[in-house]
Amino acid sequence: MKHIVDSAPQFEGIDSAGIYLLDSSCGDFVLECHAGLPEWLIDSFSRLTPGSGMHEILYCEENVYPDSSEECSFRFEGSPNVFIKGLFPLIPGETFSSVMFIASSEPEALPLEIRGIMEMLLSMVKASISRIDVENNASLREKEHSLLLETVRDPIFALGDNLEMKYCNGAFRQLVCFEEGANAAAGFPDIAGLELNNLLREKFDEVLDSDNGLRSLTFEYRERIFYTIISRTPDGLFALMNDITEAEQARKKLNFRDRFENVLISISTDFIKMRGSALNLGINDALLNIGVSIEVDRAYLFQFSDELKIMNNTHEWCATNVQPQIDNHQGLRTDDYPWWMNRLNRHWVFQIPRISDLPSWAEAERKLFESREIQSLLVVPIVHGNNLIGFLGFDSVNQEKYWSEDIIDLLRVIGDAIGNALVRNGMEKKLIKMYRRAEKEAQINAVLLKEVNHRVKNNLSEIIGILYAQMRFASNNNDHDDFVQSLISRIRGLATVHDMLSSSGWNPLELTSLARRIIDSAIAYAPNSKKLKASISKTSIRVNPNQAHALALILNELVRNSLKHALTDRDSLKIKVRMRKRRAGRITLVYSDNGPGYPEEVLEFGRKNLGLDLIQNLTIKNLQGELTLQNDGGASAKIVFRRTLTEDGKNESK
Amino acid sequence: MIVEDDHLVSEMIRGMVEELGYEIAGEAEDGHDALGIIKEVKPDVVLLDIKMPRMSGIEAAILIQKHFPTPIVILSAYETEDLVKEASEAGVGAYVVKPPQPAELFRAIEIACCRFEDMVELGDIRMKYEQAMKTIGSLAKLLPVCPGCGEEKRDEDYSSKLNMFLSSIPVEEISRYLCIRCGKRNDSG
């Protein structure tokens, strides 16, 4: 017992320990052995008599761990004070005959890990008492000894100096499958078997050679995990194998959950601020963490495109010595994997513990998995809203594997988080793209607005110009109706070309369309009784807005001229417009009608009216071109000008 | 004079200017043609468009002010700050946005003419100032006392330099330099 008490202060959180035994003759508690206690306590409390206060504490069932004393903490008052952190009955059923206590100078409650240690120490004490009893009290019945040993649930054994088995409890016998009644005094390897002997032998030697005579180790044996304390006794070794399998599994589960929670937190928080390559790195990191946590060989992310017709492996993590497959998994057609897609389309999480168990209609999938040496796999769909956008996959290459519901639930949450991140990232990309497009459009619109402003002002200036010009020419013509009609026709011509140019965004206009529109618009106001036919040659020639503007006004005047002079004595008129490209960017436009032709004085530019004045000046000034009037089966006007596609530059008209 | 490449717009300007009582001295379709016509017709004021083929209004304004200084009014449908600044730096007297009100065009023409007169006057003053500075420099050299040591100058060519300066004084300015007695004699003579 002294040895066990001595070993207690070696553990962190325990300063001192002692064992009180009840002296049945007088009812006092006697401090049987102790370690680390101050002198004053040993002197003052070596014997606790009933009514002394401390005696009652030890004698109170409520204070004894583990029944209800989890928070117990009592004080030996002196200098320094000693705080009892735990009271432990040594023998169940004899609760108040022997109590071991541990203490420290700090008054904290008993820490969890110390309790575990104490339970083991206690088991050792129990076994020690049992042994002492066996040795010292030959009259103790065999049955009682057995009962005492059986109270310890963990395997216990004691060895002699030559490692021969001196005794062991039922838990140990059951563990090593040792038949009761067999040669109990055989050597440890004979009883425990070679496997356990190999696990412990080295520690036995260490304990025998060490100063403090105490060693501990954790090992796995027969699918159980044992935390084993080996202690030196006066005549050999004593060992307690504490079965910590459940605790270890719980710890592993806790670690697993911790790791998963970290991945989840990372995905839910870090992913929010991640963009582009940072998000890719984040997903790769998450796949690594998940892959390691659930002990798979490959973890990957697929994303669908082209309305679920194509799937691409976008991210992948592989364990060491496992072949990456990301390059082989690009542009896969989903139609080729019907079984797979059938499940994903239903948003099912599914696992394939054994590839060979796949149904016959999953032949394509089976072949693919076998070619990748996959033994088991788990698939988690990534769904956003009600749309399938991808899936997470986890391959086990080295062994067949089955994943528990716990893991699947967590992976489902992670899948959702990754899905949100992917969708958000996609939306942000789209938004940025839209924003840039809007910005560009706004810039273009700002330029267009300026251009519109300029054009409107210019058109207004031209209308005023037409009015001044008509006034100038009106002195020879006092017909008010004609004045107004001319004005309307000219302003309409301006409006038509303005409309065409604004529709095209002030880009170059196709000459054929321009001519067609102007002529159609001009002849629409001819009397219904007259038959008019316009033929316009087709051409791909385009002219810049200023030239289009001038040509529109010229054509408007030419048609007005035809309607006014050629149609007077006729019921029908044919108008022809021919356009042709010439060398050095020059364009020829010939307008003709089949009317009586120009009078001679007009051909010599001797007589002028406003229409002709406009045709001539617009050709010369605005187009910087040449005008030729002639009679060729009717009136014919030939305009030659040089085409400039840009408005800017030295060859630009405005 | 009107410099405008759009015939109908030039019709507007012509009509408006004539209404205001001015006469059209000439018309040109771009800056390049304008320079030749200005030399010939010597207009009182030039109404200049900005965006024109071959030579822009701003380029033309710079060359007009350099070779044939004339009041210039810009008439443009564009009204950006940059263009206004460029026009001002090119020596333009006023900037009017098309289509202007007749009164607005009148004011612009008058302001451009006044500004031009001011500029011409300023140019004259500057020329006179430069001439005066030159004369002061010459006189300073002819002071009979050395500005360094205060000694009277006795060098041999001093009197010949003085005579040279006096002979260079224009007849109309000679009275400024005469003594009182000679001045009186000059006045009476």
- pLDDT per residue, tens digit, chain B (189 aa), is 999 999 999 999 999 999 999 999 999 988 889 999 999 999 999 999 998 888 889 999 999 999 999 999 999 988 888 899 999 999 899 999 999 888 999 999 999 999 999 988 998 899 999 988 888 887 777 777 777 787 777 666 777 777 887 788 877 777 777 888 887 877 775
| pLDDT over 60 (residue A250) | yes
Using a CB-CB cut-off of 8 Å, the residues of chain A touching B55 are 650
For residue A468, give the nearest of B14, B51, B54 by CB distance. Answer: B14
Q: What is the pLDDT of residue A28?
A: 86
DSSP bridge pairs for A29? A22, A48
Looking at beta carbons, which residues of chain B come within 8 Å of A454?
77-78
**Distance set, CA A271 to CA A209, A279, A317, A413, B181 (Å):** 56, 6, 18, 14, 104
Percent of chain A clearing pLDDT 70 (strictly above): 86
DSSP H or E stretch at residue A282: helix A276-293
Contacts of A466 in chain B (CB under 8 A): 8, 11
Residue A181 pLDDT: 64
Give the pair of three-digit tokens for residue A388: 């399938």
| Interface contact flag, B77 A617, Cβ < 8 Å | no
Give the whole-angstrom CA distance, residue A240 versus residue A203. 13
Band of pLDDT at residue A144, cut at 50, 70 and 90: low
Q: What is the pLDDT of residue A145?
A: 53
Residue A445: pLDDT above 60? yes
Residues of A in contact with B32 (CB under 8 A): none
Helix axes of A405-474 and A480-503: crossing angle, nearest 10 degrees = 160
Q: Does A472 touch chain B (CB under 8 A)?
A: yes
**Single-letter residue type at A290:** I
Residues B8, B91, single domain; the answer is yes
User: How many domains does chain B divide into?
Assistant: 2
Nearest chain A CA: its distance from B41 CA (Å) = 20
Give the right CATH number for A476-642 from 3.40.350.10, 1.10.490.10, 3.30.565.10, 3.30.1520.10. Answer: 3.30.565.10
Look at residue A316 in the predicted model and tell me its pLDDT: 95
Q: Which tops the pLDDT comparison, B129 or A293?
A: B129
The model's pLDDT over A388-411, given as tens digits with 9 standing for 90+, comes to 999 999 999 988 999 988 888 888
What pLDDT shows up at residue B27?
93
CATH number of A1-111: 3.30.450.40
Residue type, A482: D
Q: Is residue A469 within 8 angstroms of chain B, CB to CB?
A: yes
A328 pLDDT exceeds 60? yes
Q: Is residue A64 less than 8 Å (CB to CB) from chain B?
A: no
Determine contact: A458 vs chain B, CB below 8 A: yes
pLDDT band at A647 (very low <50, low <70, confident <90, very high): low
Could you tell me if B88 and B146 lie in one domain?
no
Residue B69: inside a domain: yes
Higher pLDDT, A59 or A535: A535
Question: E strands along A327-447, which residues?
Answer: 332-333, 350-352, 376-384, 387-396
ipTM exceeding cut-off 0.90 for this assembly: no
What pLDDT digit, counting tens, does each position of B83-112 carry? Answer: 999 999 998 999 999 998 889 999 999 999
Q: What is the CATH number of the domain that holds B43?
A: 3.40.50.2300
Asked if residue B15 and residue B101 are part of one domain, the reply reads yes
CA A307 to chain centroid, in Å, comes to 21
State pLDDT tens for residues A198-227: 999 998 988 888 877 788 888 999 889 998
Angle, CA B59 vertex, CA B57 and CA B61 arms, to 5°: 65
Question: How far off is chain B from A556, nearest CA to CA, in Å?
Answer: 14
Say whether residue A87 is in contact with chain B using an 8 A CB cutoff: no
Residue A607, pLDDT score: 62
Judgement on whether residues B104 and B20 belong to the same structural domain of the protein: yes
Q: Is the pLDDT score of A257 beyond 60? A: yes
CA–CA separation, A127 and A124 (whole Å):
5
Backbone dihedral region of B80: left (phi > 0), alpha (psi from -120 to 50 degrees) or beta? beta
A254-429 sits in which CATH class?
alpha beta
Contact, B38 vs B46, CB < 8 A? Answer: yes
Distance (Å) from the C-alpha of residue A536 to the closest C-alpha of chain B?
26
User: Are A639 and A627 within 8 A, CB to CB?
Assistant: yes
Query: Lowest-confidence range among A241-245, A339-343, A347-351, A649-653?
Result: A649-653
pLDDT digits (tens, 9 = 90+) for A530-561: 888 899 999 888 998 889 989 999 999 999 88
- Would you say residue B126 lies in a domain? no
Q: Name the residue type at position A14.
A: I
Residue B52 lies in a domain: yes
Per-residue pLDDT reduced to its tens digit, A99-114:
888 888 877 655 656 6
Band (A652; pLDDT cuts 50, 70, 90): very low
Q: Contacts of residue A460 in chain B, CB cutoff 8 Å?
A: 98-99
Instruction: Please give the pLDDT value at position A43.
Output: 85
Name residue A610's amino acid: L
Chain B partners within 8 Å of A497 (Cβ): none
Are both B19 and B69 inside the same structural domain?
yes
Position A494 scores a pLDDT of 83
Please give the structure tokens belonging to residue B129: 């100032």
Asked whether the predicted pLDDT for residue A654 surpasses 90, the reply is no
Res A69: pLDDT: 44
Give the model's pLDDT for residue A646.
Answer: 59
Contact A298, A389 (CB under 8 A): no
Most B CBs within 10 Å, among A449, A464, A491, to test the B interface: A464
Sheet with A214-221, strands from edge to edge, namely: A165-168, A156-160, A236-243, A224-233, A214-221
Distance, in angstroms, between A470 CA and closest chain B CA?
A: 10
As a whole number of angstroms, the distance between CA A203 and CA A3 comes to 18
Residue A304 makes CB contacts below 8 A (sequence gap 6+) with A310, A311, A334, A388, A389, A390
Q: Is residue A368 less than 8 Å (CB to CB) from chain B?
A: no
Residue A312 has pLDDT above 80, yes or no: yes
In a domain, B177, yes or no: yes
| A78-103 pLDDT, tens digit each | 888 888 877 777 765 555 677 888 88
| Per-residue confidence (pLDDT) for residue A447, from 0 to 100 | 84
Which residues have CB under 8 Å from A75's CB, separation 6+? A81, A82, A83, A84, A107
> pLDDT for A121-133, tens place per residue?
666 666 666 555 5
Query: Where are the domain boundaries for CATH 3.30.450.40 in chain A?
Result: 1-111, 254-429
Please give the residue that has the higher pLDDT: either B135 or A437.
A437
Q: Which of B3, B10, B11, B30 to mutate to test the interface with A (most CBs of A within 10 A)?
A: B11
Q: Which domain holds residue B68?
A: 2-120
The per-residue pLDDT of chain B, averaged, comes to 87
Q: How far is B19 from chain A (nearest CA, A)?
A: 10
Does residue B24 sit in the same domain as residue B103? yes
Average pLDDT estimate for A429-445: 92
B137 assigned to some structural domain: no
Share of chain A above pLDDT 90, in %: 26
For residue A67, the model assigns a pLDDT of 45
Whether residue B115 is contained in a domain is answered as yes
Evaluate whether residue B127 is within a structural domain.
no
Interface list for A 519-558 with B (CB within 8 A): 553
Q: Give A627→chain B minimum CA distance, Å.
A: 15
Question: Torsion over CA of A483, A485, A490 and A496, rounded to 10 degrees?
Answer: 160
Give the span between the Cα atoms of A582 and A370, in whole angstroms: 71
B27-28, strands of its sheet edge to edge: B27-28, B2-3, B46-48, B72-76, B94-97
- Under DSSP, is residue A277 helix (H, G, I), strand (E, B) or coil? helix
- DSSP-assigned states of every residue in A573-625: EEEEEEEEE-GGGEEEEEEEESSS---HHHHTT-S--HHHHHHHHIIIIIS--
DSSP letter for A357, please. G
Whether chain B has a CB inside 8 Å of the CB on A471: the answer is: yes
Choosing among B3, B4, B6, B8, which should be mutated to test the A contact, i.e. which has the most A CBs within 10 A? B8
In whole numbers, what is the pLDDT of chain A averaged over residues? 82
Residue B114 is assigned to a structural domain of this protein: yes
User: CA-CA distances (angstroms) from residue A423 to A288, A417, A420?
Assistant: 21, 10, 5
Q: What is the pLDDT of residue A425?
A: 85
Q: Which residues of A234-370 form beta strands (DSSP E)?
A: 236-243, 298-305, 310-318, 332-333, 350-352
Q: Which of B120, B155, B173 is the last residue of a domain?
A: B120
B186 C-beta neighbours (distance < 10 Å), count = 11
Residue A631, beta-bridge partner list: A635
Q: Find, in chain B, the residue whose alpha carbon is nearest to that of A647.
A: B53
Token pair 């170059």 is at which residue?
Answer: A508
Q: Is it the case that residue A146 has pLDDT exceeding 60?
A: no
| Closest alpha carbon within chain B to A491 | B8
pLDDT tens digits, A276-290: 778 888 889 889 988
Residues of B near A (Cβ–Cβ under 8 Å) read: 5-16, 29, 49, 51-55, 77-78, 80, 97-99
pLDDT at site A138: 46
Question: Is B179 found in the same domain as B103?
Answer: no
Q: Give which of A586, A582, A587, A577 is closest to A636, Cα–Cα.
A: A577
Shortest CA distance from B100: residue in chain A: A461
Q: Give the pLDDT confidence score for residue A209 in this predicted structure.
A: 87
Q: Which residue has the higher pLDDT, A158 or A476?
A: A158
B55 to chain A: nearest residue by CA?
A650
Note the pLDDT of residue A141: 45
